[in-house]
Amino acid sequence: MSLESFSIIESTLREGEQFVNAFFSTAEKIQIATLLDAFGVEYLELTSPLASPESYSDCVTIANLGLSAKILTHTRCTLEDAKKAVDTGVDGVDVVIGTSSYLRDFSHGKSIDQIIDIASEVVSYLLSQGVETRFSTEDSLRSDSGDILRVYKAVDDLGVHRVGIADTVGVGTPMQIYRLVSNLRQEIKADIEFHGHNDSGCAVANAYAALEGGATHIDTSVLGIGERNGITPLGGLIARLYATDKNLVKKYNLPLLNKLDHLVARLVQVDVPFNNYITGFASFTHKAGIHAKAVLNNPETYEILNPEDFGMSRYIHVAHRLTGWNAVKNRADQLGLELSDDAVKYLTRRIKEKADNGSMTLDDVDELLYQAAKQENTAEEVAAA
Ligand code: HCA
Ligand code: CU
């Protein structure tokens, strides 16, 4: 298992540009690349230089920013594309070709033997140019496993740095991915990359299963943006790894995740989803009285992710009918109000009654707490006089 030494190939600027709302200007690409680099991802993958003249010049520009992350571009598996990619000055080139019967019959029309020939030619060329070279099979999950193994072995024999498994349509399950990667691990020497789409909600689990099976590189994008509903989200992968062992992600600047998610959300004109990993607005809010009480005593009772490690904060929601007196007392403490336990218990009952009769806000709760504190003070003053 390569959990201890994996790398992230961050593809917001390639797969992410395939998201329906993504139209990044050069300046925006630089902003995203710089922030991802500060976060600490090991690689940035950029749109093919053949896509448009600006895509070409953006590869050159980002390759020359002097970032710590290695810069990759992504092309079809042809000599012409590979040459253009090398010309941009990137550190590495990710080539991909379809191996499923769907893509062989309805897309490029090549046989497996023809794929091996072209892959060998392109990989040999890229290696001769001294760039980090990855060869991947599109739609790997719906390809014949014997076929793809034959192709991977051919490029492995040439010394390719990495082979990629792509779940292009998001059909794989964690068990399938685990088996596919661990079988491949037995057969080839090269590093193994996994790229997984999220059509059926397994992209994070599949990426994790790939790592457990021996994958060394995982593709992500910020918020998971990409074709259709996208790929493994960066934040989701980080949450999954942190939950296993937070030391696995200590190499990253975790508090920048919130900035990244909000930057990309703004640029592609979506909201950060309420239930987003780590940075969604509900990610660290606790509501039911039983949860609130336990979390106030020890946050780990209901939190596997410590919000502080991500520069986020926990929120205990008190203004509702499921609230409990411990949460209300905590709110009174936050406001600096001294109230007896009996008073807080009485107020908690009032909050529940009021909430039953309509919606309540935190301001309503605070108002009740302030009034009660004033009354207690007055009563004390009267008693003392
Ligand atoms: C696509 C291609 C790809 C490539 C993945 C890879 C996919 O846009 O369809 O290079 O490993 O999902 O197959 O993103
Ligand atoms: Cu993809």
- Does residue 227's CB lie within 6 angstroms of at least one atom of ligand 1? yes
For this structure, is 320 an active site residue? no
* Catalytic residue from among 74, 195, 291, 320: 291
3-state secondary structure at position 51: coil
DSSP string over 129-179: TT-EEEEEEETGGGS-HHHHHHHHHHHHHHT-SEEEEEETTS---HHHHHH
Distance 344 CA to ligand 2 centre (A): 54
Which residues is 233 bridged to in the sheet? 221
pLDDT number for residue 104: 80
pLDDT number for residue 106: 81
- Does residue 136's CB lie within 6 angstroms of at least one atom of ligand 1? yes
pLDDT number for residue 325: 96
Sign, CA dihedral 362-364-366-372, equals negative
What atom in ligand 1 is closest to the CA of residue 15?
Answer: 14
- Does residue 11's CB lie within 6 angstroms of at least one atom of ligand 1? no
3-state secondary structure at position 294: helix
What is the pTM (predicted TM-score) of this model? 0.94
CATH topology of domain 3-267: TIM Barrel (3.20.20)
* Average pLDDT, consecutive stretches of 10 residues, N- to C-terminus, the chain (385 residues): 86 98 98 98 98 98 98 98 98 95 82 95 98 96 94 98 98 98 98 98 98 98 98 98 97 98 98 98 95 95 97 95 96 94 97 94 96 87 81
What atom in ligand 1 is closest to the CA of residue 219?
Answer: 11
Q: Which segments of the chain does DSSP mark as H helices, in order?
A: 26-39, 53-63, 79-87, 101-106, 112-128, 145-158, 174-187, 203-213, 234-244, 256-267, 289-297, 325-334, 341-356, 362-384
CATH architecture of 285-384: Orthogonal Bundle (1.10)
3-state secondary structure at position 216: coil
Distance 379 CA to ligand 1 centre (A): 71
Crossing angle for the helix pair 325-334 and 362-384, to the nearest 10 degrees: 80
- Does residue 348's CB lie within 6 angstroms of at least one atom of ligand 1? no
Q: CB of 346 within 8 A of CB of 382?
A: no
Question: Cβ–Cβ contacts within 10 Å for residue 345, how many?
Answer: 14
The residues spanned by each domain of the chain are: 3-267, 285-384
Taking Cα atoms as reference points, which of 108, 176, 116 lies closest to residue 150? 116
User: What residues contact 20, with CB distance under 8 A and at least 6 apart?
Assistant: none
User: Based on C-alpha coordinates, what's the Rg of the chain?
Assistant: 26
pLDDT number for residue 43: 99
